[in-house]
């Protein structure tokens, strides 16, 4: 596990966006079509805005990247509550291929329950992973961290932490909105690299706890790591209690 500490949120966001661009370009140069799992959250929003600035003219072929989400709020498409609300437009502007954008299902008339929607997303990810030419794993999983140590929509003490399916529905998220879809620990752990992103003093205790050994159910961030790399990207405030 590696820690990268940047002085403040803007510097952190720029550094992570630059690193992601570099990682995607390297993966493409090595002949891979990388899959990235995006996250929601305060610092993630800033990272996405930096991608919008730095992405054009970079070495990344944006139409040859698959974008997935680690979790999503099960609300109507376009709702400001959705993790994909702003970044979908940013990715489209960068030239991402519409068939390589994989937003989690939104609430629509007749869409079924959040559990059915989660199962559909899991099927989509499994189908993609079994296609020839795909490694079936994420190049990078990005994860914001809640003040309670939640990652994606995997909350402390929640039964979803024990799920073995690829994605599950959550109906009782302690953080609103209550209905969410989340990738599970086994799915998030199918990653070459896991990058946690955390900023601000409200995250400091959760970040420190994630670095201590202990039960995953107390701090879900403890349960995720990359096969080749796990990086904690933090600003100085988030890193202050490590
Ligand atoms: O609800 C969520 O919260 C976390 C962290 O968000 P933040 O605003 O406290 O940084 C986020 O990572 C997750 O994707 C999201 O659904």
Tell me the CATH number at 75: 3.40.50.1360
- 103 assigned to some structural domain: yes
At residue 135, the pLDDT reads 56
Domain carrying residue 71: 2-216
pLDDT at 133: 54
pLDDT of 82: 97
Angle between helices 87-94 and 42-54 (to 10 degrees): 20
**Atom from ligand 1 closest to the CA of residue 70:** 14
Whether 235 is covered by a domain: the verdict is: no
Q: Are strands 191-198 and 229-235 parallel, antiparallel or unpaired?
A: parallel
Total residues belonging to the chain: 242
Do the Cβ atoms of 207 and 240 come closer than 8 Å? no
Q: What is the 3-state secondary structure (H, E, C) of 178-218?
A: CCEEEECHHHHCCEEEEEEEECCHHHHHHHHHHCCCCCCCC
Q: Is residue 221 part of a domain?
A: no
Mean pLDDT by 10 residues, the chain (242 residues): 97 98 98 96 98 98 98 96 97 98 94 96 89 74 98 98 97 98 96 98 98 98 97 98 95
**Confidence at residue 134, expressed as pLDDT on a 0 to 100 scale:** 58
What's the burial of 2, exposed, middle or buried (CB within 10 Å: 0-12/13-18/19+)? exposed
Whether ligand 1 lies within 6 angstroms of the CB of 71 is answered as yes
Which of 100, 94, 41, 93 has the alpha carbon at shortest distance from 67? 100
The partner residues of 180 in beta bridges, in order of sequence, read 73, 170
Residue 241 domain flag: no
Q: Is residue 230 part of a domain?
A: no
Which of 16, 144, 169, 196 maximizes ligand 1 atoms within 8 Å of its Cβ, making it the mutation to test the pocket?
144
- Domain count of the fold of the chain: 1
* 86 CA from centroid of ligand 1 (Å): 14
**Where are the alpha helices (H) located in the chain, listed in sequence order?**
9-29, 42-54, 87-94, 114-129, 185-188, 204-210
Answer whether residue 100 is part of any domain: yes
Place of tokens 């690193």: 19
pLDDT tens-place string over residues 43-77: 999 999 999 999 999 999 999 999 999 999 999 99
Give distance in angstroms: CA of 29 to centre of ligand 1: 32
Q: Does 87 reside within a domain?
A: yes
Report pLDDT for 47: 98
- pLDDT tens-digit profile of 96-110? 999 999 999 999 988
Cis, bond preceding 202 (omega within 30 deg of 0): no
Q: Is residue 226 in a domain?
A: no
- pLDDT value of residue 129: 82
For the CA of 153, the nearest atom of ligand 1 = 16
Kindly state if the Cβ of 41 falls inside 6 Å of ligand 1. yes
DSSP 8-state secondary structure symbol assigned to residue 160: G
CA separation for the pair 174, 153 (Å, rounded)? 10
Give the residue carrying structure tokens 């949120």. 9
Q: Does the CB atom of residue 177 touch ligand 1 within 6 A?
A: no
């Amino acid at each position: 596990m590696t820690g990268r500490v940047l002085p403040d949120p803007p510097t952190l966001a720029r550094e992570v966006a630059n690193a992601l661009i570099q990682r995607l370009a390297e993966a493409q140069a090595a002949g891979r079509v990388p899959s990235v799992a995006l996250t929601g959250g305060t610092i993630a929003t800033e990272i996405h805005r930096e991608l919008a600035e730095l992405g054009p003219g970079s070495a990344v072929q944006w139409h040859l990247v698959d974008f997935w989400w680690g979790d999503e709020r099960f609300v109507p498409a376009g709702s400001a509550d959705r993790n994909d609300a702003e970044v979908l437009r940013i990715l489209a502007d960068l030239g991402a291929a519409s068939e390589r954008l994989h937003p989690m299902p939104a609430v629509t008339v007749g869409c079924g329950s959040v559990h059915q929607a989660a199962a559909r997303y899991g099927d989509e990810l499994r189908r993609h992973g079994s296609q020839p030419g795909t490694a079936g794993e994420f190049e990078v999983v990005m994860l914001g961290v809640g003040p309670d140590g939640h990652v994606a929509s995997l909350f402390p003490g929640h039964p979803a932490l024990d799920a073995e399916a690829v994605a599950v529905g959550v109906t009782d998220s302690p953080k609103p909105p209550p209905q969410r879809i989340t990738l599970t620990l086994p799915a998030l752990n199918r990653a070459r690299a896991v990058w946690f992103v955390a900023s601000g003093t409200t995250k400091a205790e959760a970040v420190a706890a994630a670095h201590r050994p202990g039960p995953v159910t107390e701090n879900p961030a403890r349960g995720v790591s990359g096969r080749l790399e796990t990086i904690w990207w933090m600003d100085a405030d988030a890193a202050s209690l490590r």
